[in-house]
């Protein structure tokens, strides 16, 4: 089964949506799986946290597998310090993960975004 991260905008404490998704999955005959959700407060926060450069970093890691930050910066043609800063933040957000002492990787098969226009 694919390992998926759900990306949402809204209140970080919105556990009801997570409960509803798990409930619907069980009703459809699926296993009760932990739901991985990254909730950001609003669209400006999403754009800040997942800038085009950061998204390119995630895509490169997903396509090429675990890499050191140095090798990732080299392959992206970006400054090491900036890539290091982006990697640190993406690890904090849970979009990428550390593997061993030096490598980082994407642990997700898919990131699904839900952007609601209103509550």
Exposure pattern of 44-79 as b/e (b: 16+ CB <10 Å)? eebeebbeeebeebbeebbeeebbebeebbeebeee
pLDDT value of position 110: 85
Cross-strand partners of 103: 68, 99
Rounded Cα–Cα distance for residues 119 and 112 (Å): 19
Rounded Cα–Cα distance for residues 68 and 81 (Å): 13
Check the CA dihedral 75-80-82-83 and report its sign. Answer: positive
pLDDT value of position 52: 94
Residue 64: what are its φ and ψ, rounded to 5°?
Answer: -105, -10
- Running along the chain, 119 residues long, what does each successive block of 10 average in pLDDT? 78 66 76 71 88 95 96 97 97 92 91 73
pTM given for the model: 0.76
Domains of the chain: 4-114 (1.10.10.10)
């Amino acid at each position: 089964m694919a390992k998926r991260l759900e990306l949402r905008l809204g209140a970080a404490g919105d556990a009801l949506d997570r409960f509803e998704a798990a409930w619907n999955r069980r009703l459809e005959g699926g296993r009760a799986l932990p739901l991985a959700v990254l909730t950001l407060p609003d669209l400006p926060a999403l754009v800040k946290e997942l800038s085009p450069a950061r998204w390119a970093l995630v895509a490169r890691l997903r396509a090429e597998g675990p890499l050191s930050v140095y090798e990732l910066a080299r392959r992206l043609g970006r400054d090491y310090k900036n890539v290091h800063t982006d990697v640190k933040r993406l690890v904090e957000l849970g979009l990428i993960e550390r593997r061993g002492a030096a490598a980082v990787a994407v642990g997700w098969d898919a990131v699904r975004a839900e952007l609601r226009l209103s509550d």
